[in-house]
A and B are shown apart, each in its own frame.
Chain A
Amino acid sequence: DTAVSQTPKYLVTQMGNDKSIKCEQNLGHDTMYWYKQDSKKFLKIMFSYNNKELIINETVPNRFSPKSPDKAHLNLHINSLELGDSAVYFCASSPRQGWQWDQPQHFGDGTRLSIL
């Protein structure tokens, strides 16, 4: 069973479009995250949700809107896609809030977004 699953795995779309990436975890974790890995392979946190409540918003443009319908899901909607949004987006989850609680994060395999 896949612990953290993302769909779609690949997403190719035109500049200006609106798209969504879905994430689901079946681990019973309370906290979920979105990360972005750019072309230079730097991995940066974008958002963190704990029990459906936004905890971290790491200076991400308003075009990015996370939505958590329940604590097992954290979807990422992106409006007016730009060329610079091309990246790999990773979803992750952990049992409790923050790394200081001695609980590792579990990552999905990523969604590769390409903007034409």
Chain B
Amino acid sequence: DAKTTQPPSMDCAEGRAANLPCNHSTISGNEYVYWYRQIHSQGPQYIIHGLKNNETNEMASLIITEDRKSSTLILPHATLRDTAVYYCIVPLFGNEKLTFGTGTRLTIIP
């Protein structure tokens, strides 16, 4: 998998937008960027993924830079239930292996 770098922790006020950055400078042209999160004591939960274009779904938005070397996950109106560890993952194309790093621990502050 392409190496990803995320800040270890972030805080965000409830109701504000949470912006989680991820660097993936070694990404290849056909590799997707995926975001997952893990809420305490639960299994990882898929959030969103993208290749080149920005993506939005009911949970979040994903902004990928034009050179694809970094991306930002945006939770538009963070709630206390969004407190979790967020993982940015770039699986190696054609390879089954999937690697979870240490992620970013996001804490939503009331």
Q: Does B29 contact A (CB under 8 A)?
A: no
A76 CA to B36 CA, complexed, in Å: 24
Decide if B91 touches A99 in the complex (CB within 8 Å): yes
Classify the secondary structure of B's interface with A. loop
Helix, strand, loop or mixed for chain A's interface? mixed
Q: Could you count the A-B residue pairs with CB atoms below 8 Å apart for me: how many are there? A: 58
Report the minimal beta-carbon distance from A29 to chain B, rounded to whole angstroms: 13
Contact, CB under 8 Å: B42 / A98: no
How many residues in B have their beta carbons less than 8 Å from beta carbons of A? 24
Interface residue B25 (Cβ < 8 Å from any Cβ of A): no
Minimum CB–CB distance for A38 against chain B, Å: 12
A105-B49 in contact (CB<8A)? no
Could you tell me the distance in whole angstroms from the C-beta of A4 to the nearest C-beta in chain B? 8
CB–CB B46/A106 < 8 A: yes
Which residue on chain A has the smallest CB distance to residue B90? Answer: A99
Contact A100 B34 (CB under 8 A): no
Please name all residues of chain B whose beta carbon is closer than 8 Å to the beta carbon of A106 when the two chains form the complex.
46
For residue A45, which residue of chain B has the nearest CB? B98
B39-53 interface code vs A (CB 8 A; 1 in, 0 out): 001111110010000
Interface size (A, Cβ < 8 Å)?
A: 24
**Is the CB–CB distance between A109 and B42 below 8 Å?**
yes
Q: Is the CB of A58 within 8 A of B49?
A: no
> A65-97: contact bitstring with B at CB < 8 Å (1 yes, 0 no)?
000000000000000000000000010100001
| A99 B42 Cβ-Cβ under 8 A | no
For the complex of A and B, 7 pairs with smallest distance between CB atoms: A107-B43, A104-B46, A99-B91, A43-B100, A107-B44, A56-B96, A100-B93
Residue pairs across A and B with Cβ atoms less than 8 A apart, 22 shown, are A41-B102, A42-B100, A42-B102, A44-B99, A45-B97, A56-B96, A58-B97, A90-B43, A97-B96, A98-B94, A99-B32, A99-B91, A100-B32, A102-B49, A104-B34, A105-B44, A105-B46, A106-B46, A107-B45, A109-B41, A109-B43, A110-B43
Q: Which B residues are within 8 Å of any A CB, using their own CB?
A: 30-32, 34, 38, 41-46, 49, 85, 89, 91, 93-100, 102
